[in-house]
């Protein structure tokens, strides 16, 4: 397994993950219960966070404004501004029976612990696994990982958008859910799925 070049990635078809109909943005208790009913049944879920971008030197990030969790068929977005969303995400992230997989999780975990006081257990960083499989010196990010394992090009259009704004745009919803979704799909494929 080799890390593809930027040119090779750009030749790949776009990653087609979840559609808007497969994604739930959790804002209240009912939606939190709906998400938890699905997530509690999983052995592992894709996981990522987004934070409001920092534009000024010396400005400090307020921490993650969105926590994303995904199964193979559904995405769940937890805006940290809603207490019900925050509580539901915290329950899953703190559940040792459910593995959380993603890319570059050290920073996500540190931010969630430090800024939101969350406990995060049982995580697997795909960037380190793919680095080892490819015999690379450098860690492998989500875009390269999706290209390597899923033979697709992860679109990063909404990555630098304002994650502190609300409501989220359709492109942010799709981007956020599919970042987490691509992680669970990579793990599934690596495990022979």
CATH number at residue 156: 3.30.420.10
pLDDT of 133: 93
- Residues 6+ positions from 121 with CB-CB distance below 8 Å: 93, 94, 95, 96
Over residues 127-142, the pLDDT tens digits come to 999 999 999 998 899 9
Which residues of the chain fall below pLDDT 70? 55
Calculate the alpha carbon distances from 168 to 25, 77, 163, 173 in Å: 9, 10, 8, 6
Dist CA 173 CA 4 (whole Å): 27
User: What is the chain's mean pLDDT, rounded?
Assistant: 93
Over residues 29-60, the pLDDT tens digits come to 999 999 999 999 999 999 999 988 776 777 77
pLDDT of 104: 93
Residue 128 included in any domain: yes
Residue 122 included in any domain: yes
The pairs formed by 126-134 with CB atoms below 8 angstroms and a separation of 24 or more are: 126/101, 126/102, 126/183, 126/186, 126/187, 127/103, 129/190, 130/1, 130/3, 130/186, 133/1, 133/190, 134/1, 134/2, 134/3
Structural domain including 172 reads 6-190
pLDDT of 2: 87
Residue 1 included in any domain: no
The secondary element (H helix, E strand) that includes residue 58 is: none
Residue 142 included in any domain: yes
Calculate the alpha carbon distances from 189 to 126, 145, 183 in Å: 12, 12, 10
Residue for token pair 């996500």? 108
How many domains is the chain built from?
A: 1
- CA 40 to chain centroid: 17
Residue 98 included in any domain: yes
């Amino acid at each position: 397994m080799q890390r593809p070049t930027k040119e090779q990635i750009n030749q790949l078809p776009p990653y087609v993950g979840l559609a808007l109909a497969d994604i739930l943005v959790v804002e209240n208790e009912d939606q939190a219960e709906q998400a938890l009913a699905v997530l509690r049944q999983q052995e592992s879920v894709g996981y990522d966070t987004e934070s409001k971008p920092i534009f000024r030197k010396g400005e400090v990030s307020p921490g993650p404004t969105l926590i994303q969790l995904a199964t193979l068929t559904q995405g769940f977005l937890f805006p940290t501004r809603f207490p019900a969303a925050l509580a539901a995400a915290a329950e899953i992230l703190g559940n040792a029976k459910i593995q959380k997989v993603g890319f570059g999780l050290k920073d996500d975990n540190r931010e969630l612990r430090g800024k939101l006081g969350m406990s995060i257990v049982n995580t697997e960083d795909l960037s380190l696994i793919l680095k080892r499989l490819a015999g690379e010196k450098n860690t492998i990010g989500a875009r390269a990982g999706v290209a390597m394992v899923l033979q697709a090009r992860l679109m990063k259009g909404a990555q630098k958008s304002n994650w502190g704004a609300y409501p989220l745009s359709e492109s942010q919803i799709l981007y956020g859910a599919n970042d987490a979704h691509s992680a669970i799909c990579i793990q599934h494929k690596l495990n022979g799925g």
